[in-house]
Chain A
Amino acid sequence: GENVEQHPSTLSVQEGDSAVIKCTYSDSASNYFPWYKQELGKGPQLIIDIRSNVGEKKDQRIAVTLNKTAKHFSLHITETQPEDSAVYFCAASSDPLTTGNTPLVFGKGTRLSVIA
């Protein structure tokens, strides 16, 4: 089955700097890669996702890149703000045409601290 590895486990950056979180996956059939942000006491919130037919996607200060050959994908947050402090999870799933998307397999998370 799919295995998702996520690094680093903790990350501290100064406000205004960029943050990068990296994930690798094992199953070449995976073709959907979302990123979630989880604040204390809350459920994960989808912040951006990418499908295997594109290599990069941007949404304001957040971008995700995907390298299918190397089986890794990354989250980039620019101009970080204190409210970006949270735990971030990457995940992977596949989307066979006959059965619909499979359950997500998550990484172990990265605790991001943005220091004002």
Chain B
Amino acid sequence: DTGVSQNPRHKITKRGQNVTFRCDPISEHNRLYWYRQTLGQGPEFLTYFQNEAQLEKSRLLSDRFSAERPKGSFSTLEIQRTEQGDSAMYLCASSFWEGNEQFFGPGTRLTVL
């Protein structure tokens, strides 16, 4: 399967712990996006990369959140000192720079107890 993959699919953690998620985009896609989705809402943009450069960060992305895409392939999203309000589905999507179509992965569901 050459789609977008995300790991882990589910993560349960205690408040105050750090968590890290991984996204592997469709190969050759040079754009990679992170979105967050809470229950009953549409995905909300967090940040995106073109190759290894982080081009934009949403104001939703507090200083406890950091994302990297060190070699322009996979990306990681880390949340430090998790809070209950961080509980959500974290979605990754990828696309070509030249095209609009974004393809989403299955998401990582985070539950903060």
Contacts and interface: CB of A to CB of B under 8 A. Distances in A.
Interface of A: 4, 6, 32, 34, 36, 41-46, 49, 51, 89, 91, 93, 95, 100-101, 103-109
Nearest to B102: A104
Contacts of B106: 41-43
A63 to B, nearest CB: 18
A41 to B, nearest CB: 8
A45 B6 CA distance: 15
Given A43-B91, A104-B33, 5 more contacts: A6-B42, A43-B105, A93-B100, A104-B45, A109-B40
B98 interface: yes
Contacts of A107: 42
Interface string B22-35: 00000000010101
Interface residues of B, number: 28
B99 interface: yes
A93 B43 CA distance: 13
A4 to B, nearest CB: 8
Contacts of A34: 100-102
Nearest to A104: B102
Interface string B42-67: 11110010100000101000000000
Rank and list the top 8 A-B pairs by shortest CB-CB distance, nearest first: A106-B42, A43-B104, A103-B45, A32-B100, A101-B100, A100-B97, A43-B106, A44-B104
Interface centre among A36, A51, A104, A107 (most CB of B within 10 A): A104
B42 to A, nearest CB: 3
